[in-house]
Amino acid sequence: MPAFPRVTALYDRHTALGSDMSTDWNGMAIPQNYASDPYVETAITRTKAGLIEVTALNLVLVKGPGATDLLNYMLTTDVAKTAPGDSHISNIVNENGGLIDDVLVYVLEPNVYRLSHGSGATGATLKALAPKYDVTIEPDDTHVLSLQGPLSAAVLQPHTPLDLDKLGYFKHAPTTLFGKPITMARGGYSGERGYEVFCTRADAVFFWDAILEAGKAHGVMPVSWTCLDTVRVEGGLLFFPFDMPHTDTTPWEVKADWTVDLSKPDFIGKAALAASKGKERSVITGLEVWHSAAITPGAKIKIGGREVGVVTSTVFSQHLMKSLAMAQIDKAYTALGTALEIEEGGNTYPATVVRMPFYDPMRLRTHG
C-alpha cells in the first residue's frame, strides 16, 4: 500500500479492478486507471452510468454561531442567501483578487456547512480565520461515491425513499439508501445527470458493492479518474489550478462571474476583484484542434506568429471524435470561429474557437 497519508476504505476494491493506486490527489491514492479501457468507461458514463469514488476531495465541516459570517468573509458568494439543502460552487481569492481555491459549499443546517475542495488554500484560509469567529472546524472522513450517467436515477430510485425527480440540480437531502443513512446530492463532474452518495467510512464498501449490484442490469461499471478527466473536459468543467495558468487568475478570466457577489459586505479580495472586472488579460476558451491526439497542456497558442494564449486542459474525445482543448486566450481572439495555431513538439496544429462546453452545450443532460 502506498505511503500516502490518507487511505480510502475502498482501496482493496480499486486494486481488485486493476488499479495500482500509485497516483494520489490531496494525499489519497486514487484509481487513475483500472484494467478496463477508459474509453469504454466514458461510453458507459455517457449512455448508462459509471460509479466513481471521489473521497480524495478535501472535506471539512464548519459549524457554530459564526460559521456563516466566516464563510461570507472567506468566499466570493453570499452564503447568507442559502438554506439547508442548498449547495453551490464558490471561490476563494486573495487580497489581489487572484483565485486560490474553488469550493463546493453544502448547507447542512443553519450555521453548519460541509465544504468540499481540491488542492488549493481552503484549509490554510480556514485555519487563519477561525480564531476570529465562534466556530469549530473539523476534518470530515465522509466517503463520497458518485454515480454519473443518464441511468443513475433509475439505478438508485428503487432503493431510496427520496424522490430523485424532485431533488433539484445542486440540491441535497438526508435519506436512506439500501436501508442505511446517507446524504444524497444531485450533481457531479461528468456533464451528465448524476448523484453523489455521502456515507460513513464504515459503510463505504457496502454502498460501493450495493450500487454496482443494483446497476448490473443497467450496464453500470466502475470508472476511473482518467474517465472522469475525459468527461469533465468534454463537459467544459474546470479543474483548479490547471485551468488557471496565471498565479493570479481572476474569476472573470474563467467566466466564473456567477460565483462573485459584489453586493454583499466586504470579503477577502473584494476591492481588487471589483477593480479588475473588465480588465481580463485572457479568458477561458474552447478549441477544436485538427489533430488525431490530445494536445499537451502548456502548449502555446499563436496567431500570425504572435503568442496569444496557452492550452490548459485537453482530451481526444472518442465520443465526439475530436481533439478538444480548453485554453486561456487573449480576449481579442476568443470570438467563435477564430482560427488559431497550436505549437507542440515542433509541430503546428490548426485550431478553431468553438462553443464550450463541447458536449451538451446547453447543459440539458445535467439540468433537465
Strand pairing category for 50-53 and 221-222: parallel
Q: At 255, is the secondary structure helix, strand, or coil?
A: coil
Confidence at residue 119, expressed as pLDDT on a 0 to 100 scale: 87
Report pTM.
0.96
Write out pLDDT tens, residues 308-349: 999 999 999 999 999 999 999 999 999 999 999 999 999 999
Q: Give 118-136 pLDDT, tens digit per residue.
A: 889 999 999 999 999 999 9
Kindly list the strands in the beta sheet with 99-109, ordered across the sheet, starting from the edge strand earlier in the chain.
87-93, 99-109, 112-117, 58-63, 136-139
pLDDT average, residue stretch 179-197: 97
pLDDT on residue 3: 75
Does position 115 have pLDDT exceeding 90, yes or no? yes
Beta carbons within 8 Å of 130's beta carbon, 6+ residues apart: 70, 137
Q: What is the pLDDT of residue 2?
A: 64
Statement: residue 191 has pLDDT above 70: yes
Residues 25 and 283: their CA atoms lie apart, in Å, by: 27
Q: What is the pLDDT of residue 1?
A: 63
d(CA 210, CA 178): 8
Q: Give how far Cα 364 sits from Cα of 19, 192, 231, 329, 358, Å.
A: 33, 9, 15, 27, 13
As a whole number, the mean pLDDT across the chain is 97
Q: Is 343 helix (H, G, I), strand (E, B) or coil?
A: strand
Work out the average pLDDT over 145-174.
Answer: 98
Say what the pLDDT of residue 341 is.
98
What is the distance between the alpha carbons of residues 306 and 216, in angstroms, rounded to a whole number? 53
What does the pLDDT look like over 61-111, one tens digit per residue?
999 999 999 999 999 999 999 999 999 999 999 999 999 999 999 999 999
What pairs with residue 196 in β-bridges? 146, 185
pLDDT exceeds cutoff 80 at 276: yes
The CA distance from 91 to 118, in Å, is 11
What the chain holds in terms of domains, given with CATH numbers, is 11-55+142-234 (3.30.1360.120), 282-366 (2.40.30.110)
Q: Is 152 helix (H, G, I), strand (E, B) or coil?
A: helix
Mind spelling out the 3-state secondary structure of 294-338? CCCCCCEEEECCEEEEEEEEEEEECCCCEEEEEEEECHHHCCCCC
Rounded to a whole number of angstroms, the distance between the first and last alpha carbons of the chain is 42
- Across the chain, how many H-helices and E-strands are there? 9, 19
Per-residue pLDDT reduced to its tens digit, 9-64: 999 999 999 999 999 999 999 999 999 999 999 999 999 999 999 999 999 999 99
H or E element that contains 182: strand 180-186
All cell numbers assigned to 6: 490518507
How far apart are the C-alpha atoms of 180 and 157, rounded to whole Å?
14
